[in-house]
A and B are shown apart, each in its own frame.
Chain A
Amino acid sequence: MDSFLAATTLVFTWDVMLIVISASVFGLFMGAIPGLTATMATALLVPVTFFMEPLPAIAAIVSATAMAIVAGDLPGALLRMPGTPASAVYTDEAYLMGKQGKIGVALGLNIVCSMLGGIIGVVCLAMLAPLIADFAIKFTSDEYFWLALLGLSCAILVSGGDRLKGVISMLAGLAISMVGMDSVSGQARFTMGSYDLLAGISILPVLIGLFAISELIRRMPESHNPQQEVQTRVKKPFAGVGPLLWKYKFGVARGGVLGTLIGALPGAGADIASWISYAIARKFSRSPEKFGTGHPEGLISASSANNASLSGAYIPALVFGIPGDAITAIIIGVLMTKGITPGPDVFVSEAPLVNAILLVFIIANLLLLPLGFLAIKGARHILSIPSGVLFPLILIFCMVGAFAANNTMFDVWIMLAFGLLGYVMAENDFPVGPLILAVILGPIIESNFMRSIIKANGDLTAFVDRPIAITLAVAAALIWGMIVANGIASSRTKSRLSFN
């Protein structure tokens, strides 16, 4: 109770509340503009959060991402163009509801279900995280090694697409994470004599490059195309939402719980939660034939799931210090720069901060209602911002942001290099998720491996001589078996297709 009271005094201050509202408005713009994602919003926010205290920094990221995911539904419903990948699955459904004169209901459902899904996610996070942390307190470097390896393996398995390219993306990320001075022996690796590389490659320019610059390279050539105008006026959003919510209440609950669990898997973000939840809603629906015709059932479940997954991703991030997605990878980076190392101990040593984070989640989700309402009303204006104006401004912002973390132009070069790499990867179907998780998890895997091997005097069997360690090792081996089997199957299919 004391830590909860301490959390409220941390959260209900004018600066935290101002940051929550400002970040929500920023997230709203980023999500509403097609092509700009919640991850990109986070990457652009990080340079600013570096200068904040831990709680306002996390509050800014939590609020911006939740709002960006919701705002991504606006262009989907109004223009049939999903604002973020998380909205893609029900874009047609919402657009067709608009064509039937129910645009207010569609957008109202998006916002209310996202809010409810987010709240369900926070409740699951608040209940599950401390329980898992109690268990995780017994972990040694052996378990952390396997856990980080398991996280990376999951990232490949659930990132979708080509598994072989997922593995290569992960390996490239691990190689990148090893640049700089080795933390155990102090030897310089892959620095090519550069003093700037001795401390390793900074994560911030990598994120801005991979998520913002590569997206600009992809989108800027299209900015000459004429802007699509919103023809539909949204009258009375939220009217008729209540009865539909009551009718599909189990869909909301299922989407929320499912979204949280999927979000907790490393590599599985809001888009995967949304797709799976939509598919399950269709499977259990009494009227599956109505899906894809402007039916609200799938939209309700998927809207609830995509926002809940944001909270779910914080479970492995806070409990083990292992990011569930790129956004929590950034959060871990931000916390570590503030001297807070996420892990089971954080629930004891930083209990007020953990409770304050949960409280911020609830506030950010409740804010979705009023800000979402304003966003619907102002959607015509937001969507009419020409991309030809927006993209150059984002480009300058990226350059200043990459420079700001370490005050060095070297990071701007890194940003450019990773922007080009991210573009080439996306064009050739290499998933970026495993790479970014590997950059974060690489040092965790290597340092825990080295710690265990030194402790065991070089005996590799020590990695599997504890029950939890062997369970995690078996799970990792099973996932790798699935990745290999899936890779072989997809290679055979691709070869067959190319010969036909």
Chain B
Amino acid sequence: MRSNDKITGLVTVTFGVLVITNSRGLANLPQQDYGAGTFPIVIGGLLIAFGGLLTLRGLSSSAPLMVWVNDVPIKRFYLTLLAIIAAIVAYILLVPVVGFPIVSTVLLSLLLYGFYRQNWTLAACTAVASTAVIWVVFGRLLQVPLELGILEKVVY
């Protein structure tokens, strides 16, 4: 999704204002005119200035506010984006409760079936094998604490 420069410019200006607003309470170093707020205020000011320039450029352009410039149908893009976000959010929320092996297997099965469009058995087998490889590499070899979740009671 491509936006007109006036939209991205205004977002930049807003970001700059937020940076300055949140930096104003920061105290200077003792007996100095500079401190933790100096750099953020300079950067916020520059963001406002350059964001303003981008907005001005957008105002003089006849480009539409938002336009989809891709060969892929927009519906398919949104569905894929939703699937990616949902997968990541589900991973974050479910792994501490259910555990990595189950969440990873289920998510991978769904994603593989959804994107490769072969049969469920193939998707599930690939998901189980991939989860096992990730578990061995990260969980065992690299000692990353991947949660076992509800499987902890089964394994131990």
Cβ-defined contact, A220 with B88, below 8 A: no
User: Interface-forming stretch among A91-99, A399-407, A468-476?
Assistant: A399-407
Q: Any chain B CB within 8 A of the CB of A412?
A: yes
- Contacting residue for B76 out of A190, A224, A445, A450, CB 8 A: A224
Complex contacts, A445 vs chain B, CB 8 Å: 39
Cβ-defined contact, A224 with B111, below 8 A: no
Known interface pairs A454-B32, A495-B57; A446-B80 also in contact (CB < 8 Å): no
Complex contacts, A416 vs chain B, CB 8 Å: 85, 88-89
Q: Any chain B CB within 8 A of the CB of A194?
A: no
Q: Any chain B CB within 8 A of the CB of A231?
A: no
User: Interface-forming stretch among A167-175, A303-311, A322-330?
Assistant: A167-175
Which applies to chain A's interface (DSSP): helix, strand, loop or mixed?
Answer: helix
Query: What is the distance, in angstroms, from B121's C-beta to the closest C-beta of chain A?
Result: 14
Binary flags per residue of A206-222, CB closer than 8 Å to B gives 1, else 0 = 00000001001100111
Cβ-defined contact, A184 with B115, below 8 A: no
Complex contacts, B29 vs chain A, CB 8 Å: 184-185, 450, 454
Cβ-defined contact, B87 with A221, below 8 A: no
User: How many residues on B have C-beta within 8 angstroms of the other chain's C-beta atoms?
Assistant: 72
Can you list 16 A-B pairs, Cβ within 8 angstroms, ordered by A?
A: A48-B137, A171-B16, A172-B15, A175-B19, A223-B115, A224-B115, A389-B112, A395-B84, A395-B88, A404-B142, A430-B8, A450-B29, A450-B34, A458-B32, A498-B61, A498-B62
Give the top 7 A-B pairs by smallest Cβ distance, nearest first. Answer: A392-B111, A388-B116, A388-B115, A182-B36, A498-B61, A221-B80, A187-B36
Q: Which residues does A use to contact B, with CB under 8 Å?
A: 47-48, 51, 164-165, 167-168, 171-172, 174-175, 178, 182, 184-185, 187, 189-190, 213, 216-217, 220-224, 386-389, 391-393, 395-397, 399-400, 403-404, 407, 409, 412-413, 415-416, 419-420, 424, 427-428, 430, 445-446, 449-450, 453-454, 458, 487, 491, 494-495, 498-499
Q: Which residues does B use to contact A, with CB under 8 Å?
A: 1-3, 8, 12, 15-16, 19, 22-23, 26-27, 29, 32-36, 38-40, 43-44, 46-47, 50-51, 53-54, 57, 60-63, 70-72, 76-77, 79-81, 83-85, 87-89, 91-92, 95-96, 100, 104, 107-108, 111-112, 115-117, 126, 130-131, 134, 137-138, 142-146
Known: A392-B107, A427-B1, A494-B57. 7 other contacts (CB 8 A): A165-B8, A175-B40, A187-B36, A220-B80, A391-B111, A409-B95, A458-B33
